[in-house]
């Protein structure tokens, strides 16, 4: 006999096997980015609060954010905040003003538009952050390699 199903098991199995179309992937990415930003935000509010509650600790907290793995994470965080926002706007606008757009064929388009818009808004910031990371953590100045650079 099959093991009894639980909500959690159904979800995990569903996520792994349901060949969802665009709308499903957008839902997953929206949820993942929302939860990721929330996790960061909880830590962020607490570490920022040390400026008042425990000033000597603040410098150590910021020191962590400057490490290479964290800076890579911040580039991801930037994408998460932007994608979640663009897709959230898509959800809100569709819900409130044009519910007909929830039709699967229409969503197939709007989900892709959201992904492209988010990538365009993210890329310039990501480049600057990557440049800063190489500059501060590896002493590589990418601008020096440009023909019209320094």
Token code pair at residue 103: 């039709």
Side-chain-side CA neighbours of 21 within 13 Å: the count stands at: 11
| 23 in contact with other proteins (CB under 8 A) | no
State the Cα–Cα distance between residues 78 and 16, nearest whole angstrom: 27
- Residue carrying structure tokens 């064929």: 105
Of 115 and 121, the one with the shorter C-beta distance to other proteins is 121
Of 52 and 148, the one with the shorter C-beta distance to ligand HEM is 52
C-beta of 98: minimal distance to other proteins in Å?
Answer: 13
Partner from other proteins, ligand HEM, none contacting 7, C-beta within 5 to 8 A by type: other proteins
State the Cα–Cα distance between residues 47 and 31, nearest whole angstrom: 24
C-beta of 40: minimal distance to other proteins in Å?
Answer: 10
Site for other proteins in 100-139 (CB under 8 A): 121, 125, 128-129, 132, 136
State the Cα–Cα distance between residues 68 and 73, nearest whole angstrom: 9
Token code pair at residue 150: 């320094």
Of 53 and 147, the one with the shorter C-beta distance to other proteins is 53
Token code pair at residue 78: 């930037």
Binding mask 74-93 for other proteins (x = CB under 8 A): x--xx--xx--x--xx-xx-
CA dihedral of residues 122, 123, 127, 129 (deg, nearest 10):
10
| 73 in contact with other proteins (CB under 8 A) | no
| Contact residues: ligand HEM, CB under 6 A | 30-31, 34-35, 37-38, 40-41, 44-45, 48-49, 74, 77, 81, 84-85, 88-89, 91-92
């Amino acid at each position: 006999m099959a093991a009894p199903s639980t909500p959690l098991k159904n979800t995990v199995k569903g996520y792994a096997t349901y060949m969802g179309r665009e709308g499903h992937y957008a839902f997953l990415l929206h949820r993942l980015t929302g939860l990721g930003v929330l996790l960061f935000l909880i830590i962020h509010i607490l570490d920022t609060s040390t400026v008042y509650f425990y000033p000597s600790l603040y410098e150590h907290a910021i020191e962590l954010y400057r490490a290479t793995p964290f800076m890579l994470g911040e580039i991801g965080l930037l994408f998460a905040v932007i994608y979640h926002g663009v897709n959230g706007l898509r959800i809100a606008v569709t819900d409130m003003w044009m519910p007909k757009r929830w039709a699967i064929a229409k969503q197939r388009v709007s989900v892709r538009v959201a992904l492209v818009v988010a990538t365009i808004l993210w890329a310039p910031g990501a480049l600057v952050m990557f440049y800063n990371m190489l500059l501060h953590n590896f002493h590589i100045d990418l601008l020096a390699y440009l023909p019209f650079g320094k």
